[in-house]
Amino acid sequence: MLPPRLENTATARTALAPAEAKRKFTWANWVIGVQGPLFGLVLLCIIFSCTTNVFLSVRNALNILDQVTVLGILAIGMTAVIVIGGIDLSVGSVLALTMMIMGWLRDTWDVPIPIGIAIALLAGTACGLANGLLVTKAKLPAFIATLTMMSVGRGLANIVTDGRQVVGFPDWFTALASVRNFGFLSVTVGLFIALVIVSWVFLNYHAVGRSLYAIGGGAEVARLAGIHVQRLTLWVYALAGLLSGVAGIAMASRLDSSEPSAGLGYELDTIAAVVIGGASLSGGVGGIAGTVVGVLIIGVLHNGLNLSGVSPFVQQVIIGVVIALAVTFDTLRRKEN
């Protein structure tokens, strides 16, 4: 007969065993996990290739990759947050804050860009840590904690330069997003691809990555199994803040400016991309492969609708409907299981 604490721990590990088994990578599981969103992406490409003759071209495909880079970087961090059963509404505001800090340091204090980038990324990470502390220590719901940071971050982004944008960065900095090396790959797109590979390996093969799914499946069960739930939750939100900072730097390079209004609405597009990619808002389900497909779906939708001359206001309605459908399918899937 085991002592109560050891018995609870043993029970928790037994409960986690099936979840751990599901996380073992096979090509079959990978295909099943993304086949729905992938089918939707192919269908969208077929539709838009019929409605406009410029959609199905190499140049437009490269444009889509450039356009989704910022969203994709944000979505990597959001995937980890949603996998543990959280949410982060502050990513767009943190993005704006980091790019404004970098621009302000350059414009006002003539700080070299690399140092400004490092300070901006530290600020983004600090915002993420603040979110994590509000969730783990203050015990605020993730929705309220990150909504608070969303407001604070946007306010600070405007305070830094009194609402003014900073324009004009060195040519080498703007070239990171504008120059396509080897004819197709910019540095920012290459960074996004590298982050996708690293995060995919981490979530599928690293013990800590697998622990995130356990937390999303049941935080108390994960704690009894010996997983440091609060610590990992804190670092997941810190990572989301850091990646928001990386996305802010990438956007500043692309726009050749820092704007306090940058990233407005990006939190919704980011959540939409992750959910469309198969993640569950209740936690424990999701993956980088699905998120990438979700990001491409959002990018293809915006690009195809723009080429077709659809009003931006109508686009917002369409994206909202897509989000509703994705969440509905997720709810139905969980009921069947």
pLDDT in tens, 248-287: 999 999 999 999 999 998 998 999 899 989 898 889 999 9
Residue 185: pLDDT above 50? yes
- Determine the residue type at 112: P
Q: Average the pLDDT over 287-304 and give the result.
A: 94
- Rounded CA-CA distance 108/87 in Å is 35
Establish if 81 belongs to a structural domain. Answer: yes
Establish if 1 belongs to a structural domain. Answer: no
Which domain does 90 fall in, by range? 36-45+57-336
Residue 9: pLDDT above 90? no
Establish if 242 belongs to a structural domain. Answer: yes
- What's the token pair of residue 175? 């070239």
Establish if 111 belongs to a structural domain. Answer: yes
How many domains would you assign to the chain? 1
Establish if 18 belongs to a structural domain. Answer: no
Name the band, by pLDDT with cuts 50, 70 and 90, for residue 333.
Answer: low
Indicate the average pLDDT of the chain.
88
Consecutive H or E run containing 120: helix 113-136
Establish if 19 belongs to a structural domain. Answer: no
* Comparison of pLDDT for 21 and 170, the residue scoring more: 170
- Using alpha carbons, select from 18, 26, 9 the residue that is nearest to residue 214: 18
Residue 63: pLDDT above 80? yes
Residue 204's pLDDT is 93
Establish if 12 belongs to a structural domain. Answer: no
CATH of the domain at 184: 1.10.3470
Name the band, by pLDDT with cuts 50, 70 and 90, for residue 336.
Answer: low
Residue 22's pLDDT is 43
Residue 19: pLDDT above 70? no
pLDDT in tens, 213-231: 999 999 999 999 999 999 9
Q: How many residues does the chain have?
A: 337
Question: Do 121 and 246 meet the contact criterion of CB atoms below 8 Å apart?
Answer: yes
Establish if 187 belongs to a structural domain. Answer: yes
